[in-house]
């Protein structure tokens, strides 16, 4: 079951500069920041109500974020939907013929398992599913 929008991911070139902007926007001086080796990225979270805005900076030239910024520039990268059972959702969505970028959950940021649906099957929108690690 899909529970809520967990966060919206925004690809940025420079996390330090973008954090200055978003810290002013949300009046939060120090966002929670962490390195996510599995995604080759450093991320910063700004809580907004029950969701958050995730700024994503690449840590490698061959990462998905680097490629995204090369093609499209900075901006909204993905929408993350929080689910109660990620493996059940993968099966359910495959039955509806959705395609996945990866269909084995990996460690995302902030203590979540994550997978990505391929934008080919979701009208060009990259959708991340996440489930809180137990
Ligand atoms: Zn995300």
Residue 71 CA to ligand 1 center (angstroms) comes to 19
Residue 130 CA to ligand 1 center (angstroms) comes to 8
Residue 128 CA to ligand 1 center (angstroms) comes to 6
In CATH, which superfamily holds the domain spanning 2-132?
2,3-Dihydroxybiphenyl 1,2-Dioxygenase, domain 1 (3.10.180.10)
Task: Return the half-sphere exposure (C-beta side, CA atoms, 13 A cut-off) of residue 42.
Answer: 13
Residue 100 CA to ligand 1 center (angstroms) comes to 15
| Confidence bin at 63 (pLDDT 50/70/90) | very high
Residue 53 CA to ligand 1 center (angstroms) comes to 9
What mean pLDDT value characterizes the chain?
95
Q: Where are the domains of the chain?
A: 2-132
| Confidence bin at 110 (pLDDT 50/70/90) | confident
For residue 108, give every residue at least 6 positions away whose Cβ sits within 8 Å of its Cβ, in sequence order, or none. 36, 38, 39, 114, 128, 130
Question: Taking 90 as the threshold, does the pLDDT of residue 80 lie above it?
Answer: yes
The confidence score (pLDDT) of residue 30 equals 83
Q: How confident is the model over 38-47, as a mean pLDDT?
A: 93
The confidence score (pLDDT) of residue 85 equals 97
Q: How confident is the model over 108-127, as a mean pLDDT?
A: 94
Q: Which of 116, 8, 118, 13 lies closest to 59 in space, CA to CA?
A: 13
Global pTM reads 0.92
Residue 95 CA to ligand 1 center (angstroms) comes to 24
């Amino acid at each position: 079951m899909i529970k809520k929008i967990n966060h919206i991911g925004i690809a940025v070139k420079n996390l330090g500069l973008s954090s200055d902007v978003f810290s002013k926007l949300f009046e939060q001086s120090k966002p929670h920041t962490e390195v996510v080796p599995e995604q080759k990225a450093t991320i910063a979270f700004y809580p907004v109500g029950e969701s958050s805005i995730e700024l994503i900076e690449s840590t490698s030239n061959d990462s998905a974020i680097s490629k995204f910024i090369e093609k499209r520039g900075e901006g909204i990268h993905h929408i993350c939907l929080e689910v109660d059972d990620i493996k059940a959702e993968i099966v359910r969505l495959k039955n509806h013929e959705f395609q996945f970028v990866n269909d084995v959950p990996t460690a995302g940021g902030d203590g979540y398992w994550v997978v990505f649906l391929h934008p080919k099957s979701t009208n060009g929108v990259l959708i991340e599913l996440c489930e809180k690690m137990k």
